[in-house]
Structure 1
């Protein structure tokens, strides 16, 4: 396996190349969980893995509870499909509470406090009520909790991890930004299908979905992504080998063991990683927390960078890929006329001079981003 084959496998497995998902939900089911603390850009992470899903499509799926946004895995915000959240939360919760233990102690969240706050929050969102963070804070403060700052954040996170709260219908602020609300976990996942799996079944499912979408990847990559131990991941691989022989295979590369789906190993016959305009490199605009980056730890460097990196000055922080390799940075700005978005300007800064082919590929990426937002998109002039 060569580096370009590894990158091509990741691009195709993650559906940044054909065949793409039909819907944002299908893209999410493939990836299992998608990091989502930057909500506007996280919508794009799902959309660009589909044929034509828009920001509005993703927002509608979130509003209807088919896609849920919650703290899970490491922990940080993630999108998870409603059908997967119950078992993934149950698998993740012990490690998440362990990871948060120091902050729980710092903010005075012991077992009694967590239980009492859970009762307050359960009552607050019962019967289909969806509340903002500020509204939850008010309910907790009325009940005598010091629910501000870090303490508030971790009381809410504890409730998410414990299966009390999950994302509700987002609301739009007067300025147009979407704001998270919280709802009852049980009510929002009521339509989830299937019986609760055992821990072994959940481990096998996570490992199969992770390596099936992100392979080639290492055991450490999966452990760091999932928040599980390397022993858990190895157990999951063994279980997959028993339950679905041949579904995940091993490959050695750079002195390390990688795991992947058999059909994702190497390039499709007759194809190369160059899929752009007239044989030129394909340009992808991915958010800095995209799964193509955050799906790996030990082997993240193969894409040519160390993102997510926080920029200096006014430099953009999101990532331009050229055939899957770091090629620059980007960000978007919405230009408004009154309350209406008139256009989107994309500040795209390439690390090397772009030739004619690259220019066409960049424009194709800009056009697609505009279609996602549903407004005209243009590339901002250099130095603007």
Structure 2
């Protein structure tokens, strides 16, 4: 069995994640890791930046408008950006599971079966163009489906409609307000993929973008039960190499020699920090709370050779942005000037590196 130490595992994972930034389209960057978390639009754009070369934030928005990528509820029941051609098998595999898993909470909110059926029928009739949540809630009320706009009813209804393949996110407004569209109108009719085939696709795509990894990693990342994650790995067992990765048996797939990743400024919720069962290899134990302060909020980090070296934030002025870095006290920061410059290019703003935060 091949043995990889911690540094080799980090190197392999950053390469697999595409953090060398060689993808030339938004869809290619997203496809590399199956999906990028997208509940925070600005963070979603930054996740694309570190995986592409020469693209801008506007290119990400244009890809959404152009329907080469789509945002919908996917892994872990969380909003993700997918390549448009992956929507069918991803939603077909994960959607029913999370729709069923969300049933108790929907019942608590008063979204019973009769109301859901009435709402689904209403959505099919009223969503004839991209509409905001407020627009949809108001139009549903006109058809007798009344939701409390200040409660959790609307987001849980929208999540259910997405999981069942009816709705997905459309283009955001100029103020980054989300809109919603019918999947059949926005992406076309989706061809069903049976579960065994979809699990095999999931395992292969996950390992290509995250390996070395375990079935437990796949279960945590996808939100599926460990039994399904193991079945997914078993489905491609003849293509998997089992290695010892930092003392743990893990799986890898043979793939092209991807380039090494330079120092990166990862945004909130980056896939590199959310793609595994734990962050032990990426985040030093002494600094876990600095990276995840609570509530699932994963901070932007400075990543060097696959290891978090500190956190960072931006401070906006009228005509510029300053990148403020708070290094971990036991970590030396590499030169960040090129990365800061690229961030400014991507955002279309003059950007500068501030003094380290004490």
Instruction: Report the TM-score, using the length of structure 1 for normalisation.
Output: 0.84
Structure 1 segment 290-369 matched on structure 2, within 5 A:
290-298=270-278, 300-305=279-284, 306=288, 308-310=291-293, 317-336=299-318, 342-352=319-329, 358=333, 361-369=335-343
Find the counterpart in structure 1 of residue 249 from structure 2.
Answer: 257
Structure 1 segment 241-252 matched on structure 2, within 5 A:
241=237, 245-246=238-239, 248-252=240-244
Partners of 2:30 and 2:194 in 1: CA distance: 22
Unmatched tracts of structure 2, length 5 or more? none
Alignment check: 8 A CA contact 1:367 1:377 kept: yes
Residue 320 of structure 2: SS of its match in structure 1? strand
Matched pairs, number? 347
Residue 95 of structure 1: SS of its match in structure 2? helix
Residue 85 of structure 2: SS of its match in structure 1? coil
Q: Which has the higher contact order (CA 8 A, sep 6+)?
A: 2
Structure 1 segment 1-384 matched on structure 2, within 5 A:
1-17=4-20, 20-126=22-128, 129-144=129-144, 145-148=146-149, 149-173=151-175, 178-190=176-188, 195-241=191-237, 245-246=238-239, 248-263=240-255, 282-298=262-278, 300-305=279-284, 306=288, 308-310=291-293, 317-336=299-318, 342-352=319-329, 358=333, 361-382=335-356
Partners of 2:315 and 2:71 in 1: CA distance: 24
Residue 116 of structure 1: SS of its match in structure 2? helix
Partners of 1:5 and 1:354 in 2: CA distance: 19
How large is the Cα RMSD of the aligned pairs? 2.4
User: Residues 354, 310 of structure 1: CA spacing in aligned structure 2 closer, same or farther, 3 A cutoff?
Assistant: closer
Residue 255 (structure 1) shift = 4.6
Instruction: Report the TM-score, using the length of structure 2 for normalisation.
Output: 0.90
Residue 281 of structure 2: SS of its match in structure 1? helix
Unmatched tracts of structure 1, length 5 or more? 276-281, 337-341
Residue 382 (structure 1) shift = 4.4
